[in-house]
Amino acid sequence: MNVALLVEKLGWHFEAWLQALSKRSDVDKVFLSDPSRYNLDMVRRYLGDKLVAVYDSPQALFQENEVEITIVDTAPFRTPDMVQASLEAGVSVIVEKPAATSPEAYAPLVELADSKGLLLAISLMETPAVREAIKIVSEGQLGRIYNIQCLISDHQRWRIRDQMDWVFSKEKAGGGMLGHEFCHILNYMPRIVGSDVTHVTGFAKVVSGEPLEVEDSLAISVLFANGAMGTLNGGSWGPSVMGGPEYSKEMYSFLNYGFSVWGEKGAIHVDMQGGLGGNIIKDLQYEGPVQPIPTTRLTHRTNHQLLVQRWEAKLPPADRMGVMIQESLDYIRGNGPPPIANDAGLKMLKFQHAVYKASETGETQQLL
């Protein structure tokens, strides 16, 4: 298998993609387009002699080589041109999120991929717990869905903005935490509920007092097409920076990251603290024996007693990059469904920027 890597300077998860590729025995040749040469040593460290050529542009890479799949991971303002070059060469793409600074910049890529029958897989990977929640709801175990509540507290990631020339830049990233970190939640909220978002309102603000151009905190409310409602409360609050001198796994384990889904027949609660596996609890109502319920005077009525049965499981973390690569290859080779729909990235970007407009204007935004 031949792979193209398109990057310039530092992308959000580029090293993780290299780690995933290094674990595969079927990678024959890797071609790198990186005019900055910033990532050259890191690619060689992970892939060794499998890196056979380095180019200054994606166009030059594709003109000289045939590849099966492309991975793009760079600043969002650079990403669309790289994705377009791959699609025009007839090569399917895995692209790091948010993939563009606006939905208008990403929409033509979705159209191009669809017109050529190619995969455009934005890396909004779903954890095992999220996939289990999607399965539970889609099977109707909770009945009609009432609400989804999401809570995430993360490290003060805005402190690493100087390590990347685009993070927390409105011009180069298009947004803050909502675009390159909490975007996973924007993707899985409607996926779990099983219905598209129709209306968005809320706030995306800077509460840390730092001179940031874009948000470090979020409070969002949404309405889904099936009548369900949802909330997301999240922020880059701390208490430390991942990888910094104060960081420890114990400290990370206290950062809240989870969600609950409520329905007419029960609820599921997922806790992903300290990692991306998850503890999942499912509470389902069922009817017990008929019980007499006394009322006034000489009359009485009977009713079924509502009981609750609990099911719990601990799901281990998954190699999300490895799974995304494998599922993408399976789809390209005709051996399975795509890991994510081509328009998922566009839906996420529309959701993201609707939140920004709602916060700026104080008006609820309609998506559908």
pLDDT for the residue numbered 239 = 75
- Indicate whether 50 and 165 sit together in one domain: no
**ω into residue 294 within 30 of 0, thus cis?**
no
Would you tell me how many other CB atoms lie within 10 Å of the CB of residue 287? 10
Longest dimension (CA), the chain: 91
Q: What is the CATH number of the domain that holds 158?
A: 3.30.360.10
- Give the Å distances, CA to CA, from 359 to 44, 52, 97, 269, 354: 44, 48, 22, 28, 9
Q: Is residue 195 part of a domain?
A: yes
- Indicate whether 81 and 142 sit together in one domain: no
pLDDT for the residue numbered 14 = 95
Secondary structure (H, E, C), 194-229: CCCEEEEEEEEECCCCCCCCCCCEEEEEEEECCCCE
Please give the Cα distance from 19 to 116 (Å, whole number): 30
Coil, helix or strand at residue 324: helix
What percent of the chain is predicted at pLDDT more than 70?
92
- Indicate whether 110 and 133 sit together in one domain: no
- Indicate whether 329 and 287 sit together in one domain: no
For residue 260, give both structure tokens: 């609950």
- C-beta separation of 6 from 86 below 8 A: yes
Q: Is residue 237 part of a domain?
A: yes
For residue 139, give both structure tokens: 């099977």
pLDDT for the residue numbered 223 = 98
pLDDT for the residue numbered 251 = 67
- Indicate whether 91 and 229 sit together in one domain: no
- Counting as low any pLDDT under 50, the low residues of the chain are 298, 300
Q: What is the CATH number of the domain that holds 333?
A: 3.40.50.720
- Indicate whether 100 and 136 sit together in one domain: no
The residues, ordered by sequence, that sit 6+ positions from 250 with a Cβ below 8 Å of its Cβ are none
Please give the Cα distance from 176 to 79 (Å, whole number): 17
Number of folded domains in the chain? 2
Q: Is residue 92 part of a domain?
A: yes
Q: Is residue 180 part of a domain?
A: yes
- Indicate whether 150 and 36 sit together in one domain: no
Residue 341 amino acid letter = A
Number of continuous H segments (helices) and E segments (strands) in the chain: 12, 15
- Closest to 164 in 3D by CA, of 5, 12, 39: 12
- Indicate whether 105 and 212 sit together in one domain: no
Q: Is residue 96 part of a domain?
A: yes
- Closest to 82 in 3D by CA, of 15, 44, 119, 34: 34
- Indicate whether 177 and 205 sit together in one domain: yes
- Indicate whether 54 and 92 sit together in one domain: yes
Average pLDDT, the chain: 91
pLDDT for the residue numbered 165 = 81
pLDDT for the residue numbered 154 = 85
Q: Is residue 298 part of a domain?
A: yes
- Indicate whether 284 and 155 sit together in one domain: yes
- Indicate whether 114 and 224 sit together in one domain: no
Q: Is residue 140 part of a domain?
A: yes
Q: Does the model's pTM come out above 0.85?
A: yes
- pLDDT tens profile 138-196: 999 999 999 999 999 888 888 877 778 898 899 999 999 999 889 999 999 999 999 99
Range of the domain at 202: 128-318
- pLDDT tens profile 296-333: 554 545 566 778 899 999 998 889 999 999 999 999 99
pLDDT for the residue numbered 300 = 47
pLDDT for the residue numbered 248 = 62
Q: Is residue 348 part of a domain?
A: no
Residue 352 amino acid letter = Q
Residue 150 amino acid letter = C
pLDDT for the residue numbered 244 = 64
